[in-house]
Amino acid sequence: MPRGRKSAASLSVVPLVPGQGRPEPPVDLDPLEQQVWREVVDALPGHWCDSAARLILRRLAAQAAVTERQEARLRQLRADGHDDTEAAAELAAAHGVIAKNVAQLLAQLRATPRSRIVSRTAGSQVEQTPKLRPWEIKAGA
């Protein structure tokens, strides 16, 4: 075992999850999309957003912005007393579809608390899984 002081390189910490910190939103997103981007990135652990996650995050920001605008329109229709019209019903249905898309994209990013929780049954099954993967088992062993 070497003696003496440890070098800075040996003391450095390498992030476990690939990524490059908390990325700023792309400049071509509108202000509402940029706000959604920042809120989601701030809710995620540091170094969570690799290049694949950024693609999902971009789609999420667009879908969430559309949902926000639809909600504002629904509130306006309700305030004007027109929330029982066919247009309001169509808008509410479209909003529901896009809201499901947003929830699915958040789950793919593991940005919701539920998507980060291991269920009790899965937890016990994880403990019982074999340590060797099938391709690591040698034939005849």
Average pLDDT, the chain: 81
In a domain, 78, yes or no: yes
In the block, which residue shows the tokens 């969570």? 48
Cβ contacts of 118-127, under 8 Å, gap ≥ 24: none
57 vs 68: CA distance, rounded Å: 16
Query: Would you state the pLDDT for residue 15?
Result: 47
In a domain, 88, yes or no: yes
Count of CB atoms within 10 A of residue 37's CB?
Answer: 24
**Beta carbons of 50 and 78 less than 8 angstroms apart:** no
In a domain, 10, yes or no: no
In a domain, 4, yes or no: no
Query: Would you state the pLDDT for residue 98?
Result: 95
Residue type, 22: R
Of residues 26 and 13, the one with the higher pLDDT is 26
In a domain, 116, yes or no: yes
End-to-end CA distance of the chain: 36
29 vs 47: CA distance, rounded Å: 21
Report residue 35 as tokens.
């706000």
Residue type, 14: V
Q: Which domain holds residue 104?
A: 19-124
State pTM to two decimals. Answer: 0.66
The 10s digit of each residue's pLDDT in 50-106 is 888 899 999 999 999 999 999 999 999 999 999 889 999 999 999 999 999 999 999
Provide the number of structural domains found in the chain.
1
Query: Would you state the pLDDT for residue 83?
Result: 86
In a domain, 44, yes or no: yes
CA atoms within 13 A on the CB side of 8: 0
In a domain, 133, yes or no: no
In a domain, 53, yes or no: yes
Of residues 77 and 49, the one with the higher pLDDT is 77
Query: Would you state the pLDDT for residue 115?
Result: 66
How far out from the chain centre does Cα 34 lie? Answer: 15
Query: Would you state the pLDDT for residue 72?
Result: 95
